Amino acid sequence: MGEKPNACPYCGKGFRRSSHLTRHLGTHGSAGAAPERAGTPPLPTPAPRPYACERCGKAFGRSAHLARHRETHSGERPYRCGCCGKAFRRSAHLTRHRGTHTGERPFACGLCGKAFTRAAHLTRHRLTHTGERPFACGDCGKSFARAAHLARHRTTHTGERPHKCAGCGKAFAAAAHLLRHQRTHRA
């Protein structure tokens, strides 16, 4: 796995190229729409997303991302693990999965030695050593170690239910609750 020295100041995601980091920054939204990390500059204006999925309405900034997304609707999983038979939509996901059979954890913490299968998990783990909770709620001041936890918390102030079921229209505050609900359609 290659080094990813260009880290996003908002979510910690790493990139091999600074141009990829620049493109990623647009995914965080404008200064008023997304959580800001302490000590970081205001968020950039979000990049336009002109490519929308005809099936579910999800929009993308690049046509290639829309094409990849469309595969999720087909349900096709052409990449199969030779060890356990689990199937994946993308070859990269199969490659990452193979590590579960080998036990490979290439991303190790320099402070405690704990190792991870993904660089992003190591980045998130490092906060446990510092106690840093860089994502603060603008309404009540409560802070969180993860941007996703702040986003979930903010729905307690707004009453927002941003995760909508494409099948029936029911909306949920948490993505996990939507996923659990969607299983009822398959049963």
Question: What are the pLDDT digits (tens) for 4-41?
Answer: 777 777 777 778 888 888 777 777 654 334 444 555 56
Does the 137-187 domain belong in CATH 3.30.160.60? yes
User: Does residue 47 register a pLDDT over 80?
Assistant: no
pLDDT at 46: 64
d(CA 48, CA 100): 37
d(CA 178, CA 187): 15
The token pair at 149 is 């936890």
The token pair at 129 is 């050593």
Amino acid identity, position 94: L
* pLDDT tens per residue, range 85-121: 999 988 989 988 988 899 889 899 999 999 998 888 9
The token pair at 96 is 């990452």
Q: Quick one: pLDDT band at residue 43, thresholds 50, 70, 90?
A: low
d(CA 175, CA 187): 19
Is-contact 46 66, C-beta < 8 A?
A: no
| CA 2 to centroid of chain Cα atoms | 20
Phi-psi region of 29 (alpha: psi -120 to 50; beta: other; left: phi over 0): left
The token pair at 138 is 């603008």
- pTM for this predicted structure: 0.48
